[in-house]
Amino acid sequence: MGDQKARTSTVSLDESTSAISIPSTPSSTPSPPPPPLRHPISLVHPPTQEKKHKTKTKVFRVFRSVFRSFPIITPTACKIPALPGGLPDAHRGSSRTRVTGTLFGYRKGRVSLSIQETPRCFPTLVIELAMQTNMLQKELSSGMLRIALECEKPADKVKTKIFEEPLWTMHCNGKKTGYGLKREANEEDLYVLEVLRVVSMGAGVMPRHSMVEGPDVELAYLRAHFDRTVGSKDSETLYMLSPEGNNGPELSIFFVRI
C-alpha cells in the first residue's frame, strides 16, 4: 500500500510538472530584437529674435526718455569735420551676422544645408538642395561655388521672412539644377548636428546613423562659419569664411525673392 501510494504521488507529480512546463516551452519563432536607442540630443534652442528686438526697443525708449530730459542748448558755432573717406563700411549698407552652416549628405544622395546660430543650437533653417553630394564635392574642387536660391514674391504681400519660404529654384554656378525644399529637421539631421556639435569648421565623413537604412555607409559633411548679409527683406547672402592663411574653396549662397 505504501509503495502504491508513493508511485501514485510520483505519477501525479510528474503529470503536474509536465502540465506546467508545456506552456512555458519557448516557441520556434524568435522574439524580435529591441529597437535601437535614440542618439541623445544636447542641442539647445537659439535665442529668439523677438526677445532681442524687444530688449533693444526697451533700451532705446529708456535712452530717449533720458535724452529728452536734458536742457536744449543752442550752440553759437559748430563745425563738424568731414571724414575724408566718408562713413566706414560698417555703418552703411547691409547688416551682417556670423552663423554656422553645414552641408551634408550621403555620396549618392542629395545635399542638405543647415543653418545654426551656433554649433550648439538647433537649426534655424534646413533645406534639401537639388544637388547630389558627389557633384557638390566636384564643384568645390574647382575652387568656386555659387548657389542661388530663388523664389517668387507673394502676391498678397504677406510679411514672410525669406528663410521661411518653402520652395526654391536652385542654380549652381549659373545652371539650373532643380528645386530646393525647406523642411523641418528630422532625426538624421539632428544626429549629424549633434555629432558635429564640437566642430566649428572642417570637412570629412562620418558613419551612417544606425536607424537609417541605405546602400551608403558614410556621410560626407562640410562645416564652416558663414557671414550672413541681409541686403533687404527679399535678399540675403551667406559667404563662407575660410581660416586665415587657408586658400580653400569659395562658397556663396544667395537667397533672392523676385
Q: HEC profile for 150-171? A: EECCCCCCCCCCHHHCCEEEEE
> What CA–CA distance (Å, rounded) separates 41 from 38?
9
- pLDDT tens, N- to C-terminus, the chain (258 residues): 545 444 444 444 344 444 434 344 444 455 444 444 456 788 998 875 545 545 444 544 554 555 455 454 444 444 434 434 443 444 345 678 999 999 999 988 999 999 999 999 999 999 999 999 999 999 999 889 999 999 998 877 777 899 999 999 999 999 999 999 999 999 999 999 999 999 989 999 998 876 667 677 789 999 999 999 999 999 999 999 987 656 778 999 999 999
DSSP, collapsed to helix, strand or coil, labels residue 195 as: helix
Helix, strand and coil content of the chain, in percent to the nearest 5, comes to 25, 35, 40
Task: Copy the grid coordinates of residue 79.
Answer: 563745425
Residue with cell string 569735420? 81
Burial (CB count within 10 angstroms: exposed 0-12, middle 13-18, buried 19+), residue 49: exposed
Residue with cell string 572642417? 202
Q: Are strands 175-182 and 250-257 parallel, antiparallel or unpaired?
A: unpaired
DSSP 8-state class, residue 187: H
pTM of the prediction?
0.68
Give the containing element (helix H, strand E) for 199. Answer: none
DSSP 8-state class, residue 89: G
DSSP, collapsed to helix, strand or coil, labels residue 36 as: coil
Residue with cell string 533693444? 56
